[in-house]
Amino acid sequence: MRRLAAPAAFLAVGLGLLVPAAATLPAFYESFLYLVLHWVALATSWSILSGFSGYFSFGHGAFFGAGMYATAMLATGGLPFLPTLPLAGLAAAAFGVAMGAVVFRVPRLRGELFALLTLAVTFVLATVVLNTRIDGGPGVYLSAVPLPRLGGSATGTLYVLGLAVALLTVATAYAVYHARWGAGLFAIHDDEDVAEVLGVPTYRYKLLALGLSSGLAGVAGGIHAMFVTYVTVAETFSIVVPLYVILMSVVGGARHWLGPALGAVLVTVLMYGVTGGQTAVAGRAVVGLTLMLVILFLPEGITGFMVRRRSNRPGAPAPRPVSPRPAVAQRRPSDTGGPPLLVCSDVRKAFRGIQALRGVSLEVREGEILGLVGPNGSGKSTLINVVSGHHRADGGRVLVGGMDVTGRDAHEIARLGVARTYQIPRPFAHLTLRENVAVAGMFGRLGHRRRTAEREAGRWLEFAGLADRADQLPAALNLHQRKFLELARALASEPRLVMLDEVLSGLTPSEMTDATRLVRDIRDRGATVVFVEHIMRAVMELADRVVVLDVGELVTSGAPQDVMRNPDVVRRYLGTAHA
């Protein structure tokens, strides 16, 4: 039912908004309504990249401007106006994708640095346009370009076009918001590294979002060129476009498909409607003040505020996890001497000259529970990071199920069936528990459709004892529950190899008992487990085999009892009186 409700609503709103065009309102109102729709399209298209994936762009003016000048050039060059619009969108999208292809390859270029970079790109584009034949300095007049009649008048036509692009943009945002790759974008927003490790192809998704975002802005720009009829560099590439777009999205809530549209309507009405147009100064001051107050008091915008209120309604008190009930048919491994699932040979990794792994070779057999132990800084976490593809090894090879994965992207390794948890849980903070877990189902080995993944996620939350909190945000959980959420998320892709990084630390003894039972259950379902742990009691109890690392080297491996009696291991753990 919900599936059909949304398109129906779009159709209704669209038809409803056509009335003003048919009713031949005074041109002033049509222009005003056009401007509202214009900002709805711009703000919503901005949020497809920036709101959803968190890459805040100050460069939306560049894409908007690219579209504006594309139409200006083509239409004054003799092409009819309407066909220039898709071309304007294509030009802007091409520009966006070209920029993204370079920028998204640079790690750490996020947040304020990405914002500044996009602003700089805008100014560079403006300078180029100004100094080449695209503009040449004086600006481009479109007054001679014939405008096809779609509404009653010229402004009516522009209103209809504005309506079309606004609806197209909001519908696109709606579709992305509810699609699989929308979920990927939201995961990128909260924690890009974790998203990649869960199997989200982050680079491709960001590029796609940027292309869509800039393309839609380009179409809006093409229409706007006709609306202003006189296109200049100073107006087109001014700071006003990114400023207002960000303001509108932030006020409405940039993470929601409808938020930017809501914000656009509010701000535009505030600016032109309430202040009557002639006191533009006061309008701008109100805009500035609103932005400040919203960031200070309502950092997630109106829709964000409402979503949060809904999910934070007081629920039942935190229950103890029920004893994990196997929900999947158990696949008992034949024995722990199966074929090797993970093979590391001579893996090396250095950070700024410090050798974290100095040639580690080990095998993990299908169906076993392997304990990975060692003193501080011995390289255990680095090994997990290398196997999962988060870090690239400097040397050596890593094979998963016989496939060489050395140097592969983390999301490709995830798709082979490798999952991990983090010592300090890293849930996606703005996604509900169900959505958190569903990300793994969608992008891991299984590649479920979104709805299947969300249904399956419910089962995994039940397995981890979190079923009654499925629609809450991770902030509502305590540490122990967050660790179980990590587990549920790692398991939801039904991985062949699960690497657990200190799942037990920080838990109370009774919580620890639950957790150890859960780890056994995981193996009983047929997964192979590698776990890093400092609480030796648990290692002795759980592990089939133990591998000891120290200063980046493998010290020894074998049955837990034997290994921990090894005098070399004892010395490494307890040290000597004479260092």
Partner 1 sequence: MPSFTLLAQSVLSGIFVGGLYGLLGLGLSLSWGLLRLINLAHFALAFLGAYLTYTLSTAFELDPFWCLALVPPAFFGIGVLSQLVFVRFRVTQFGSLLVTFGLTVMIESLIQWIWTADYRRLETVYGTASWRVGPLFVPVAELLALLTAAALAGLTWAWLRYTWVGKGLRACAEDPHIAAAFGVNHRRLALVLSGLSAAFAGVAGAFVALIYTLAPAQIYAWIGVVFAAVILGGLGNPLGPLVAGVVIGVSEALTMALTAPAWAPLVSFTLLILVLLLRPGRV
Partner 2 sequence: MLEVEGLQVAYGDATALWDVSLHVGEGELVSVVGPNGSGKTTLINTIAGLLQARAGRLRFRGGDLTRVAPHQVASRGIAIVPEGRRLFTGMTVEENLELGCYTPGLRAGRAARLERVYGTFPVLRARRRQAAGTLSGGEQQMVALGRALMAGPRLLLLDEPSLGLAPAVVEHVFDVVEALHREGVAVLLVEQNVRKALAVASRAYVLAEGRVVSSGTPALLLAEPQIRSVYLGDPGG
Binding site for partner 1 (CB under 8 A): 56, 102-103, 106-109, 111-113, 115-117, 119-121, 123-124, 126-128, 130-131, 137, 238-239, 243, 246-247, 250, 281-282, 284-285, 287-292, 295-296, 299
- Cβ 233 to partner 1 shortest distance, Å: 9
Please tell me the distance from the alpha carbon of residue 386 to that of residue 194, in angstroms, as a whole number: 14
Give whole-number Cα distances, 178 to 28, 167, 258, 324, 454, in Å.
37, 16, 12, 31, 12
DSSP assignment of 176-238: HHHSHHHHHHHHHHH-HHHHHHTT--HHHHHHHHHHHHHHHHHHHHHHHHHHHSEE-HHHHTS
Q: Is 478 in the site for partner 2 (CB under 8 A)?
A: yes
Q: What pairs with residue 174 in β-bridges? A: none
Q: Which stretch binds partner 2 (CB under 8 A): 208-216, 240-248, 355-363, 529-537?
A: 529-537
Q: Is 476 in the site for partner 2 (CB under 8 A)?
A: no
Among residues 242 and 425, whose Cβ is nearest to partner 1? 242
- Cβ 271 to partner 2 shortest distance, Å: 41
Residue 1 touches which of partner 2, partner 1, none (CB < 5 to 8 A by kind)? none
Q: Which residues contact 489 (CB under 8 A, 6 or more apart)?
A: 198, 421, 427, 436, 437, 439, 440, 460
- Cβ 288 to partner 1 shortest distance, Å: 3
Q: Is 535 in the site for partner 2 (CB under 8 A)?
A: yes
Please tell me the distance from the alpha carbon of residue 71 to that of residue 84, in angstroms, as a whole number: 5
Among 27, 171, 536, 555, binds partner 2 (CB under 8 A): 536
Chain centroid, CA 89 distance in Å: 24
Ordered strands of the 403-404 beta sheet = 354-365, 340-351, 395-400, 403-404
Among residues 10 and 573, whose Cβ is nearest to partner 2? 573
Residue 90 touches which of partner 2, partner 1, none (CB < 5 to 8 A by kind)? none
**Other Cβ atoms closer than 10 A to 355:** 16
What residues from 363 to 422 belong to the interface with partner 2 (CB under 8 A)?
375-377
Chain centroid, CA 368 distance in Å: 34
Q: Is 565 in the site for partner 2 (CB under 8 A)?
A: yes
CA nearest neighbour of 330 among 287, 367, 281, 379: 367
- Cβ 205 to partner 1 shortest distance, Å: 20
What DSSP character marks residue 549? E
Residue 117 touches which of partner 1, partner 2, none (CB < 5 to 8 A by kind)? partner 1
Among 194, 246, 539, 549, binds partner 2 (CB under 8 A): 539
Among 506, 517, 544, 556, binds partner 2 (CB under 8 A): 506
Q: Is 94 in the site for partner 2 (CB under 8 A)?
A: no
- Cβ 108 to partner 1 shortest distance, Å: 5
Contact 473, 431 (CB under 8 A): yes
Q: Is 557 in the site for partner 2 (CB under 8 A)?
A: no
Residue 295 touches which of partner 2, partner 1, none (CB < 5 to 8 A by kind)? partner 1
How many residues appear in the chain?
Answer: 579
Q: Is 4 in the site for partner 2 (CB under 8 A)?
A: no
Give whole-number Cα distances, 139 to 92, 131, 549, in Å.
19, 11, 68
Q: Which residues contact 160 (CB under 8 A, 6 or more apart)?
A: 18, 21, 150, 151
Among residues 128 and 559, whose Cβ is nearest to partner 1? 128
Among residues 115 and 477, whose Cβ is nearest to partner 2? 477
Binding site for partner 2 (CB under 8 A): 375-377, 478-479, 502, 505-506, 509, 534-537, 539-540, 560-561, 564-565, 569-570, 573-579
